[in-house]
Structure 1
Amino acid sequence: MAEPQGPEGRPKGLGWVGSRFVVTVGAVAHGGHCVARHEGRVVFVRHTLPGERVVVEVTEDRHASFCRADAVEVLEAAPDRVERPCPYSGPGRCGGCDWQHVGHEGQLRLKADVVREQLARLAGLDVDVVCEALPGGPLRWRSRARFAVDRSGAPGLRRHRSHDVVVLDDCPITAEPAAQAVLSRSWPGAGGVDVAVDSAGVVTTTRLDRRGRPTSTRVLRPGSEVPAEPAGRAQRTAGGRDWEVEGTGFWQVHPAAADALVAAVSGYAAVGPGETVLDLYAGAGLFGGALAPAVGAAGRVVCVESDAAACAAADVNLADLPQAEVWQGDVDAPGLTELLGDLGRPDVVVLDPPRAGAGPDVSRVLAGAGPRAVVYVACDPASLARDVAVLTAAGYRLDGLRAFDCFPMTAHVECVALLVRA
């Protein structure tokens, strides 16, 4: 039988939305769900665990070969299943967390399985993966968050794969001062609110319009009940140094993540005196600044970042390191080729790209430059695996991999990979 066709000849779903049936759940998949099968179709199921027998309700059916569903009743539970600590988590509720129903040790195993599977499927590599927990436990770790606001001005988070806002009184994975700075008040006319709490306990909120553009920023200092106008940058501490970033600008969300990643990057890079380091997608200069002392006065660290505010913060953060330079520009293949023409061959390349990864063109340019080591920091295991496949095809081999649980209760995992010339 031919597949049913949608408006432009594309296969469409079979109209299963709202249907309920029983499945036995298979392996975990990338994205916070597990894989099951029903009547020859793949069913991606949230709120379940491998090995469970559950009743699912189909929530989305747009493709002939697969649909999406929630586990709405557990008939046979897996050993790692626990009571959700957040009352807003579960089928049809807040979509901010994926694994509230899983004990923390079980979450670590799931994330390791996902990284292992992505490297095997997309890069053809058989890698033993252990996901390392960070200090502090799985709750109250989020120091920076974006909350949605509904049409009445009530703040919350969106349902999974939906624009609907679930109004919240609290978010148990967010640091309490940050959560309450947003969720304890109304935001009429706003489209969302960014919030961050820094190492000194200063809470910064940035109001966003309906298009996600910032419109105003307020700062609440510890011990004060009166918000002030923003003054200067937020303070962060990592790698034995103090760092400045924009109040709600990019920084590792978990308070222990920056230290863990700096240690992993420094260990893999093993930078020596006189070497040249290229730090791509450098942000406020975290990795470049951590590696600069090791190259000494005769070495060189070039930090490349596209965002003007991040570059300004990096200039401040690296001002006491004469061997460190900050270059503003996009990290794309033509720009990187030109930069390498000026810089020459780097000894070490560190890159921390956005979720989409560096991409094949940039990866090939990096391999062509011939650094002795590429240290890749990744927040998405699929993007990492695709770029690793390009680098290994170009003459590098994966020589080390560490995975960190920088985002407990969610499906996200941070990896640091070391690639060396084969």
Structure 2
Amino acid sequence: MTESNASSPELAEGDIVELTVGEVAHGGIFVARHSSGRVVFVSDALPGERVRAQVTEIKKRHARAETLQVLEASPERLEHVWAEADVSRDPAERPGGAEFGHTSVAFGRELKRRVLADALSRFGGVEPDFEVVGLGDDDATRGCGWRTRVTLHVDEAGRVGPFAARSHDVVRVGSLPLAYADIDELAQQIIAKGHRGPGRIDFVAPADSEVRMRARVKGTSTRKPELLTERVGEREFTVSEDGFWQVHRLAAATLYEAVREAIDPEHFDAEAQHYDLFGGVGLLAAAVAELAGADARVESVEAAAVATELALRNLSEWSGATAKTGRVDRYLQGVLEGGADALAASRAGTVVLDPPRSGARADVIEPLVVLGPQQIIYVACDPVALGRDTGLLRERGYELTRLRSYDLFPNTHHVEAVATFLRA
């Protein structure tokens, strides 16, 4: 381990350097430039700070480093919301999952806005005016207590805890501040006792009853996953315990309303064929169906068969609602090969596109734009993926007409956006 200075021609892993921190980058890291000219992505910092950091990785065009000490702090820096993740702790012992926990939730939203705006400008060629909206009382609680689903890991020695940031090493913690309080209480009991491993322990706090815990040791679960009931307003959704559901206690309701509001009424034909692609258990398909009315024709498409079965149950009040299991790109190709009447109904419809973090990509975008729906409501959980897909859609005749963004993951770098694209 060596101290690097202005005379150092290059960096090496393990070097300790002083850096002046610039803007935020995607992934909860910040951009700095070493005196050698190399760009360094540094974690646990804030724009404008001067820090001592240790180089952890050298790439061809950049390096990565972890903050060891803050020499000149930003006025936005606060005591970390998660004591074990504070910069005063050895980086190898800091748990991951709270990359912006050393600032206010409000400034965390501003950092996310900058990342999303940069991605849309750089990859999508658009510069919409928007802000990232907080949920409920997250500002008052400093973004604590919102996670209704938490996974802890168990190592060979039986130690239970989260992974350290940017590693798969289990670290022991005395609190889980982002977790729903009942999850934190139960998890601390398990952490104190330890558990047979290696494996993982999943905690869920559903709307219908008390917290569930389910361990998976060496690939074998202690029990079968249960079916849970989640609620969005007065509407109930059946969800598998190990299936996908939004993590923030207010996220599902927020996205349900966000999709309804994102649909342009002037381009919405209630009698058309609508689609919810990557539809999960039918949450957003229900939002579209509710707008279309009792005879809504909405089809949810999802690769997971269990989720498809639950989507059929959750959409059963609409006689024209269906759910199919399959890869979205292949499904769209099948639609394109259908008859003229089916294609006409789809072309008049609205598509909700809620892809995984990697985005929809050309494999899905290409057949989707050939299908040519009136509007595409894109629900994005990754800024760069949304930026790239925005570029693809604009090149193929769709324009971004509306964007809203929501802080569904306080104290982390993750951000959600709901974008409306209309056929030009």
TM-score using structure 2 length: 0.89
SS at match of 1:277: strand
Q: Which runs of 5+ in 2 are unaligned?
A: 1-8
Q: In structure 2, how many angstroms separate the alpha carbons of the residues matched to 1:51 and 1:179?
A: 34
Q: CA deviation at 1:59?
A: 2.0
Aligned-residue offset at 1:160:
1.8
Q: Is the 8 A contact 2:295 2:318 kept in 1?
A: no
Greater helix share, structure number: 2
Superposition deviation, residue 331 in structure 1 = 1.0
SS of match in other structure, 2:70: strand
CA distance in structure 1 between the aligned counterparts of 2:185 and 2:254, rounded to whole angstroms: 28
Root mean square deviation of aligned Cα: 1.8
Structure 2 CA distance for aligned equivalents of residues 36 and 44 of structure 1: 6
| Partner SS state of residue 85, structure 2 | coil
Aligned residues of 1:239 and 1:262 also touching (Cα < 8 A): no
1:19-418 equivalences under 5 Å are 19-38=15-34, 39-61=36-58, 63-91=59-87, 92=91, 93-137=94-138, 138-185=143-190, 186-210=194-218, 213=219, 215-217=221-223, 232-269=226-263, 270=265, 271-332=268-329, 334-342=330-338, 343-344=342-343, 345-346=346-347, 347-418=349-420
TM-score, normalised by the number of residues in structure 1: 0.89
Tell me, in whole angstroms, the C-alpha distance in 1 between the residues paired with 2:96 and 2:369: 39
Structure 1 residue matching 2:377: 3-state secondary structure: strand
Equivalent pair of 1:182/1:193 in contact (CA under 8 Å): no
- Assess if the C-alpha contact under 8 Å between 2:353 and 2:378 holds in 1: yes
CA distance in 2 between counterparts of 1:299 and 1:188 reads: 50
Deviation for aligned residue 1:349: 0.5
Q: Is the 8 A contact 1:156 1:183 kept in 2?
A: no
5+ residue gaps, structure 1, are: 1-12, 219-229
CA contact (8 A) 2:156 2:197 kept: yes
Give the residue type in structure 2 aligned to 1:215.
S
Aligned-pair identity (%): 37
1:288 counterpart SS class: helix
8 Å contact 2:299–2:323 — kept in the other structure? yes
User: 1:129/1:217 Cα in 2 relative to 1: closer, same or farther (>3 Å)?
Assistant: farther
Identify which range, 411-420 or 169-178, moves more after superposition: 169-178
Given that 1:148 and 1:191 are in contact with CA atoms closer than 8 Å, whether structure 2 keeps it comes out as yes
> Conserved in 2, the CA contact under 8 Å of 1:378 and 1:415?
yes
Instruction: Give a deviation string over 1:269-326, Cα, whole Å, max 9, x none.
Output: 2444313211101101001112213223444101111111111211221122212111
TM-fit CA distance, 1:341: 3.4
Q: Map Cα deviations across residues 180-220 of structure 1 (whole Å, 9 max, x no partner).
A: 3334122202411122110134222222234xx451238xx
Range that drifts further, 313-322 or 131-140:
313-322
Size of the alignment, in residue pairs?
394
Structure 2 residue matching 1:181: 3-state secondary structure: helix
